[in-house]
Structure 1
Amino acid sequence: MNLEAALRKYYQLSHFRSGQKETIQSILKQKHTLAMLPTGTGKSLCYQLPGRILEGAVIIISPLLSLMQDQVEQMKMKGEKRVVALNSFLTSVEKSRVLRQISQYKYIFISPEMISLPYILDKLQRMEISLFVIDEAHCISQWGYDFRPDYQKLGYIRQKLNNPLTLALTATATEEIRKDIINSLHLDEVEEIIYSVDRPNIAINIEELVHGQEKMEKLLDYIQKLDGQGIVYFSSKKLAEQTAAFLKERSSKRMMAYHGGMSQEDRILVQQQFQTGQLDVICATSAFGMGINKEDIRFIIHFHLPTQLESYLQEIGRAGRDGRQSVSFILYTPGDEWIAYQLIESELADELQINKWKLSLKKYPTFEAWQKKEGFQLEMLFTETQWRVLESYLEPNNKTVPELLSSLEMYNNFRNERVTEKKQKVQELIGWLHSASCRRMYIMDYFGEKYESKDKENCCDRCGLDLSAFFNSRNTNQHKVQVDWQEQLAFILNIKK
């Protein structure tokens, strides 16, 4: 089959991007495929085009509601009407209607949580599935930076669906994590299509600053000067909001905050405003970005450290998808790593939380008996994320309390291993920050790649970087830092993480 002709016919495109054609060819040869392609290379085409050719439905597992909605809307705009997202955005009436007509859809986007529901799985088992796609497949691995426990059930889901042809897509995964993905999905004879993680059109600049106030002043300076639209990443929802308000007052840029604590409606509104150019800058937590398919983002700034190189690459990969030169910044002050450590410690329920739960559990014979009388305690004992991981690990339904207590001991070992591993990742990131070598060369070595420099001029701060190339000349006359900032800066920077 002439794939270039199919590309022109269905998508009006003249050529494939890196890795797309090889991935599509592998799928059309009926080979299970794991494709690691750089962010911004159009991974969605790797299942959309085969879906046009193969008989049967394409099931796409997606981790974020915003990502699903974005993909569905884009496909509809391009003329594909047989597409739907099965998620919590649908009302019960809409969901019932979609499930009654499920055989009419070619592309079905669904979360790993929803596909695990028995009545949903039963509907899909009756369909002819030509391709089972796992987007953001690094979420499968418990050692991945964005581990989602429901992703680990996808191997079981595949078996229930009669082991369909499978495509796993990711942008950043070490060899260890790729092996974990393949094993978790129970895949045999997998074709691996691995492209470099390097994005040569994204310059890397890291600045070490003395204290938080200097960092905030530097951020304002860059927000004023940098050309185009950009994203500033924070570890704290509160700080993202406060900083957005602070910068909005003192710069000419249009900006808003975005984080997981906002309502779905507000998140969608901010995302749409950014997509359509009504906002210049988003102050966001890591919840923002995975659902964004915007080609002309020009800069990414990390106000707080990412927790590892994989997540850093994923986040800066939002920039420069049109191939034009873009820039990424990390603004670092000594001690920032402790914020990352605190996030890692709080991600999973700790021993103190577990021991409190144990004391309560021991009064009952089974989990169901405890849940009936004291289930209200879950929200007080654990965060939503902590309980989701804990529940997935324990599978507590229909278990006796002695069985649960035994499983909790093993969970503590799992937690300690994961926390130790993730702290080591932070140390590796700090090592990269302080390294005197080329930033890009270090990253390539981390992923087991050989780096051959092509453009030292726009590489990184270690190789020499002229930041003025990224500044808008119309914004060179900036407001001076005013003394009356100090009170508000102190308020913002003392917010608890």
Structure 2
Amino acid sequence: MMLDQMLYKYYGYTSFRTGQRETIQSLLDGHNTLAMLPTGTGKSICFELAGYMMEGIVLIISPLLSLMQDQVEQMMKRGEKRVVALNSFLSPIEKRRVLANLQSYKFIFLSPEMLGFGNVIEKLKNLKLSLLVIDEAHCISQWGYDFRPDYLKLGTFRERIGSPLTLALTATATPEVRDDILKKLCVRDATRIEASVNRPNIAFHIEKMEHEHEKKQRAIDLAKSLKQPGIIYFSSKKAAEQLAQLLRENGLTRTMAYHGGLDQEQRILIQEQFINGQLDIICATSAFGMGINKVDIRYIIHYHMPMQIESYLQEVGRAGRDGEPSVAILLYAEGDEQLQFFLAEGELPSIRQLDDFFSYMQLNSMEKEDERIFEEAATANGLTETQWRWLAAYLNDETATTYEEIADKAKSYVIARNSAKMENIKRMKQWINTDGCLRNYLLRYFYESELPELGTHCCDFCGLDLHFYKGSVTGLPRRQENTNWKERLTVLLIGELHEE
């Protein structure tokens, strides 16, 4: 009963969502916990409420600064003043001030790149930590769909700060990835709270077409007829811009594109306009939606097929957080998977790039610690920022003593990772072509039991009628405009992450 009272006291809610109560109780019982809770079920409440019921400080590692800042802002709106985000966007003066007063905060959000600063870790070691939280924990697994090299430091970091009680949170992870998360974090005997990935209020619809121009016209028709608001996802910045322009030309003037090619202020402005009901449609790359506290998104359209089922479910899970009926639509044209194969191959350095990189290092006969030469070699061999950050993690591998060892490990990983990604793309294509229930296919993928008699609001196979999700834009309620617009924008600018 106390948990229910605390939930109402801090959030005004009268009941918990799936997995929240179990996760909080596990932490209060002193158990390290891995919680896989579906997107939109309020994972942040798990560590916030548990933190309020513990004496010490809660430290939260979050991979996206925009997500981190949104969580900080939401807590401040509820009156929590003892919260701070410690990240690379703080000015040197702000960073020194925060570090000097760390003990005065209850909730400290930390970006993973801060783990490379020894003074930060020393400060954290002296705090009374009640809970360490790893948000988006699948980022630590090299077999997870959103692997982040900076997350590889977390296991060592956790041990350096005394191995505090730990909560790892994720929305979509296969059993293999869940095992890898705990292994990388050096967590043993963890309680696992593994809720179903199923979101019953989201229906699945797939349309196949022969040509790109046919797909483009269909996307316009759907955007004009579906209940708003909605997000249309792309794997290409150019395609997002082009369709946003076409939608505006077709009368959908409250449409904008969102991608990493925009500057920080533009991205934050678009995000805020969408949250506050000033925009109806966002044509976006995959980064849009992380941390966006908007519960009434009625549809998600994927203009390009995603690279894997995990990221697909993460993105469609941004719809229908209010529990109302919503629809996830995927538009597929023959050969769409080729774009994903191309993108998958470019995420990591090629074998040739690795060979050239290490040949460059050996020819220059420089010491391993010479960061300048590392970066020169990366530039000379055309490595992107993402590729270089990944390779830097291997260069810092203390178990390898020669460049040959590092090169062999890196190449073995690239071969295995690329093979896994190609398999993920093929599984995504199999889902598109399945002749059975789309929802049950997804449940089987995550080793969950199939559901019987799902009804006509499930998917195409089960008799979905898309007309149910159509409606007028003007007939939907809208949020009030933010009266502190400039102040809110200024706060958000501090913590927006540059999208890769």
Fold shared, TM-score > 0.5 on shorter chain: yes
Give, in angstroms, the shift of residue 379 of structure 1: 3.6
Q: String of CA shifts for 1:446-475, please: whole Å, max 9, x gaps.
A: 111112235411001111111111111579
Distance in 1 between the 2:272 and 2:376 partners? 37
Q: How many Å separate the matches in 2 of 1:475 and 1:126?
A: 55
CA deviation profile, 1:204-244 (whole Å, cap 9, x unmatched):
00011111000000000011111111111111122212222
Structure-to-structure mapping, 1:250-329, within 5 angstroms: 250-329=250-329
Distance 2:217 2:67 in 1: 33
Q: 1:229 matched to which residue of 2?
A: 229
CA distance in 2, matches of 1:152, 1:372: 23
AA of the residue aligned to 1:408: A
Please report the TM-score for the alignment, with normalisation by the length of structure 2: 0.91
Change (3 A) 1:163 1:306: same
Q: Does 1:382 align with 2:383?
A: yes
In structure 1, distance between residues paired with 2:474 and 2:328: 19
**8 A contact 1:224–1:475 mirrored in 2:** no
CA contact (8 A) 2:361 2:377 kept: no
Cα contact 1:32–1:190 (8 A) shared by 2: yes
**Cα offsets for 1:286-345 (capped at 9, x unmatched):** 111112121111110111111111111011000000000000011001100011101110
Corresponding residue for residue 93 of structure 2: 93
Q: Is the Cα–Cα contact under 8 Å of residues 228 and 473 in structure 2 kept in the other structure? A: no
Deviation at 1:376, TM superposition (A): 3.8
Q: Is the Cα–Cα contact under 8 Å of residues 223 and 253 in structure 1 kept in the other structure?
A: no
Select between 146-155 and 216-225 the one with higher mean Cα deviation.
Answer: 146-155
Distance 1:101 1:473, change over 3 A: closer
- Secondary structure (helix, strand or coil) at the match of 2:193 reads strand
Q: How far, CA to CA, are the matches of 1:173 and 1:374 in structure 2?
A: 34
| Number of the residue aligned with 1:458 | 457
**2:427 maps to 1:418:** no
How many correspondences in the alignment? 474
Cα deviation digits, residues 76-133 of structure 1 (max 9, x gap) = 0001010011113321211111111111111011111113321111110110100000
The Cα of 1:158 is off from its aligned counterpart by: 0.4
- Which residue of structure 2 aligns with residue 469 of structure 1? 468
- Separation of aligned partners in 1, 2:171 and 2:373: 45
Q: Any idea what SS the aligned residue of 1:172 has?
A: coil
SS at match of 1:362: helix
Partner Cα distance (1:475, 1:462) in 2: 31
Distance in 2 (CA, whole Å) between partners of 1:49 and 1:373 is 47
| 2:352 equivalent in structure 1 | 352
Which residue of structure 2 aligns with residue 135 of structure 1? 135
How far apart are the structure 2 equivalents of 1:278 and 1:349?
41
- Structure 2 unaligned residues grouped into runs of 5+: 476-500
Asked whether the equivalents of residues 85 and 108 of structure 1 are also in contact (C-alpha less than 8 Å), the reply is yes
Question: Percent identity over the alignment?
Answer: 51
In structure 2, do the counterparts of structure 1 residues 399 and 372 end up closer, same or farther at CA, with 3 Å as the change threshold?
A: farther
Once residues 191 and 62 of structure 2 are traced to their aligned partners in structure 1, the CA distance between those partners, rounded to angstroms, is: 21
Q: 1:371 to 1:75 in 2, by over 3 A?
A: closer
CA contact (8 A) 1:364 1:370 kept: no
Residues 474/409 of structure 1: CA separation in 2 closer, same or farther (3 Å cut): closer
Task: Give the drift of 1:73.
Answer: 0.5
Query: After the TM superposition, which residues 141-152 of structure 1 pair with which residues of structure 2 at under 5 Å, given as runs?
Result: 141-152=141-152
Check conservation: 1:61, 1:133, Cα contact below 8 A.
yes
User: Secondary structure, in 3 states, of the residue corresponding to 1:109?
Assistant: strand
SS of aligned partner of 2:168: strand
TM-score by length of 1: 0.92
Corresponding position of 2:203? 203
After superposition, residues 93-172 of structure 1 pair within 5 angstroms as 93-172=93-172
Distance 1:318 1:474 in 2: 19
Q: Which residue of 2 aligns with 1:492?
A: none
C-alpha distance in 1, partners of 2:373/2:132? 41
CA distance in 1, matches of 2:33, 2:403: 37
Distance 1:358 1:459 in 2: 52
> Which stretch has the larger CA shift, 264-273 or 69-78?
264-273
**Structure 1 residue 15 displacement after superposition:** 0.9
Q: Distance in 2 between matches of 1:246 and 1:154?
A: 45
The answer for the alignment partner of 1:438 in structure 2 is 437
Kept after mapping to 2: 8 A contact 1:70/1:291: yes
Between the aligned partners of 1:443 and 1:134, the Cα distance in structure 2 is 25
**Matched-pair contact (CA < 8 Å) for 1:8–1:14:** yes
CA drift of 1:262 comes to 2.6
Deviation at 1:373, TM superposition (A): 5.8
Shift in CA distance, 316/186, structure 1 to aligned 2, threshold 3 Å: same
Cα RMSD of the aligned pairs, angstroms, is 1.9
After TM superposition, the structure 1 stretch with the greater mean CA deviation from structure 2, 356-365 or 195-204, is: 356-365
- 1:179 aligned residue: 179
Contact 1:394 1:408 in 2 (8 A): no
> Partner of 1:4: helix, strand, or coil?
helix
**Bigger shift: 255-264 or 17-26?**
255-264
Distance in 2 between the 1:352 and 1:367 partners?
22
CA distance in 1, matches of 2:43, 2:374: 46
Given that 1:24 and 1:49 are in contact with CA atoms closer than 8 Å, whether structure 2 keeps it comes out as yes
Asked whether the 8 Å contact 2:366–2:373 carries over to 1, the reply is: no
Query: Aligned-pair distance for 1:396?
Result: 7.3
Look up the match of 1:70.
70
- Aligned partner of 1:485 in structure 2 is none
SS in 2 for 1:297: coil
Distance in 1, Cα, partners of 2:90 & 2:430: 46
State whether residues 368 and 398 of structure 1, in contact with CA within 8 Å, keep that contact through their aligned partners in structure 2. Answer: no
Indicate the residue corresponding to 1:488 in structure 2. Answer: none
Spell out structure 1 runs of 4+ moving beyond 3 A. 367-377, 396-400, 473-476
Distance 2:300 2:378 in 1: 37
Contact (CA 8 Å) 1:24, 1:46: kept in 2 or not? yes
Q: CA deviation at 1:371?
A: 4.9
SS at match of 2:467: helix
